[in-house]
């Protein structure tokens, strides 16, 4: 029988911070979104203090009872490296690992011998010891059940982080109690639709005729029913779905009032977008650029966006100059712009494209230049080589008031040990 485990990092970003700072053990920790805006990760201690996910930190931090909370700006370079470590530890258990997100990974258990629950505990101990991330492990015959088991393990400390719902009897007991909204793929809107049919628990949902489930939740509804019954409909996928579009957008640390500042921001977003495009081996045939003022700050509001087709490319210089041309057209004096972005669309694999009959650039020369740029940026650090248009200083750079060191990837930031 098919069997899956879902390994999910507990408060992943906070756990990455804790891995390298022993003073954070047992104290409430939160990690904030870009620009130090909202809470995007919190430890159990922070949750117990009533800190909600998504809570704006500039408001929450004023509450006197939250004085002892340690907060951090998001350190994605660190989180990416710790996610890689977690993934690689899992790969030592099974060749079938699906990285579902930065902190959740499905593990195919087919062909692994031994007691599943003991295996779950072993996986959990290895990830904690080697990748320094505490996790919960949910096990089941389908991905949907594994996900549910994982959630149950998180909410039930007596399970010590591992829950196996392979046994239909164990599932039946849980389904009687569990609200249907806890199921993977059933969001608040779907739960509200189901509630109109008197469906509250997972058991209620499974009693619903498949045709009705399909009517209410499209074909997904019937598939979720099958998965909850133990019939696997969602296989592991080791490949990310092909990207349809790609965006680099940011809120600014300080509002941009001059055209020059905004153009530098747009150029630097375009540079990063082109880099992501090349990482995926793709070219873009469409581009949008937008800029807008803050919804909250006082002053007149403005939101402007331009889109157009471009000659399919992944060339940083071509993408940057097209983005700047658009930004220039959109620019109007007298506003304090708070956010801008570059979106690339109409993506296709570079290798699958027919050669252009009349390309406007020498393709071989451009490829070598971009390769050289990517190599240098990988070696020296992102942004070491960039188009002059992206500027030198960066007043629009996001606010990162309390960024931890890049402990594992920057020699200046390595964890300190007292000798």
Partner 1 sequence: MTKPYDGSETTGFMSPARDHADGAVDLSEALRLASPSRYPVRVRGGGFASRGILDGDVLVVDAALDPAPGDIVVAVANGETALAVAEKRGGRLRLRRPDRYLDEDGSEVWAVAVALVRERLR
**Residues near partner 1 (CB under 8 A):** 22-23, 25, 84-86, 88-89, 129-132, 371-372, 375-376, 407-408, 411, 414-419
Residue 309 beta carbon to partner 1: minimum distance, rounded to whole angstroms: 32
Q: Closer to partner 1 by CB, 78 or 304: give it.
A: 78
* One-character DSSP codes across 60-102: HTTSGGGTT-EEEE--HHHHHHHHHHHHHHHHTT-S-EEE-SS
Instruction: Give the separation between CA 107 and CA 149, rounded to whole angstroms.
Output: 14
Q: Which of 358, 377, 261, 259 is nearest to 316 (CA)?
A: 377
Residue 292 beta carbon to partner 1: minimum distance, rounded to whole angstroms: 40
Q: Closer to partner 1 by CB, 167 or 371: give it.
A: 371
Burial class of residue 369 (count of CB atoms within 10 Å of its CB; 0-12, 13-18, 19+): middle
Q: Closer to partner 1 by CB, 99 or 285: give it.
A: 99
Give the largest CA-CA distance in the chain. Answer: 68
Q: Closer to partner 1 by CB, 210 or 415: give it.
A: 415
Q: Closer to partner 1 by CB, 172 or 416: give it.
A: 416
Instruction: Give the separation between CA 26 and CA 23, rounded to whole angstroms.
Output: 8
* CB-based contact 131:85 (threshold 8 Å): yes
Q: Which of 374, 387, 259, 377 is nearest to 322 (CA)?
A: 387
* CB-based contact 225:206 (threshold 8 Å): yes
Residue 97 beta carbon to partner 1: minimum distance, rounded to whole angstroms: 12
Residue 417 beta carbon to partner 1: minimum distance, rounded to whole angstroms: 5
* CB-based contact 310:221 (threshold 8 Å): no
Q: Closer to partner 1 by CB, 251 or 408: give it.
A: 408
Residue 416 beta carbon to partner 1: minimum distance, rounded to whole angstroms: 5
Residue 105 beta carbon to partner 1: minimum distance, rounded to whole angstroms: 13
**Residue 126 host element (H or E):** helix 116-130
Residue with tokens 């009533």: 50
Residue 90 beta carbon to partner 1: minimum distance, rounded to whole angstroms: 9
Instruction: Give the separation between CA 138 and CA 6, rounded to whole angstroms.
Output: 5
Q: Closer to partner 1 by CB, 151 or 386: give it.
A: 386
């Amino acid at each position: 029988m098919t069997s899956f485990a879902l390994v999910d990092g507990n408060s992943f970003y906070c756990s990455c911070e804790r891995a390298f700072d022993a003073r954070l053990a047992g104290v409430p920790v939160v990690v904030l979104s870009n620009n130090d805006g909202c809470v995007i990760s919190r430890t159990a201690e922070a949750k117990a203090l009533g800190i909600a996910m998504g809570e704006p930190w500039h408001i929450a931090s004023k509450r006197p009872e939250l004085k002892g909370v340690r907060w951090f700006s998001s350190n994605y370079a660190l989180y990416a490296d710790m996610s890689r470590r977690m993934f690689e530890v899992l790969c030592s258990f099974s060749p079938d690992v699906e990285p579902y997100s930065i902190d959740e990974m499905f593990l195919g258990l087919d062909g692994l011998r031994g007691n599943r629950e003991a295996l779950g505990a072993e996986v959990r101990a290895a990830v904690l010891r080697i990748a320094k991330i505490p996790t919960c492990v949910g096990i089941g015959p389908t991905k949907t059940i594994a996900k549910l088991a994982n959630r149950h393990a998180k909410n039930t400390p007596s399970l010590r982080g591992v829950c196996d719902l392979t046994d239909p009897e164990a599932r039946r007991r849980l389904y009687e109690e569990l609200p249907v909204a806890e199921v993977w793929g059933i969001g608040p809107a779907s739960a509200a639709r189901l509630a109109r049919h008197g469906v509250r628990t997972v058991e209620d949902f499974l009693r619903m005729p498949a045709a009705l489930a399909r009517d209410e939740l499209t074909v997904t509804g019937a598939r979720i029913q099958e998965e909850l019954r133990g019939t696997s409909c969602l296989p592991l996928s080791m490949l990310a779905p092909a990207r349809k579009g790609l965006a680099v957008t940011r809120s600014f640390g300080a509002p941009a009032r001059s055209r020059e500042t905004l153009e530098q921001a747009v150029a630097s977003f375009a540079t990063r977008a082109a880099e992501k495009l090349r990482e995926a081996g793709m070219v873009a045939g469409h581009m949008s650029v937008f800029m807008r003022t803050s919804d909250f700050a006082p002053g007149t509001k403005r939101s402007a966006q331009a889109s157009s087709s471009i000659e399919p490319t992944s060339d940083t210089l071509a993408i940057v100059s097209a983005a700047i041309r658009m930004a220039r057209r959109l620019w109007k004096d007298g506003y304090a712009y708070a956010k801008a972005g570059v979106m690339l669309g109409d993506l296709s694999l570079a290798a699958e494209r027919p050669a252009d009959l009349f390309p406007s650039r020498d393709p071989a020369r451009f490829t070598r230049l971009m390769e050289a740029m990517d190599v240098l940026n990988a070696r020296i650090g992102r942004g070491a080589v960039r188009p002059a248009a992206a500027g030198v200083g960066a007043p629009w750079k996001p606010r990162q008031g309390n960024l931890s060191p890049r402990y594992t990837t920057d020699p200046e930031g390595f964890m300190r040990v007292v000798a």
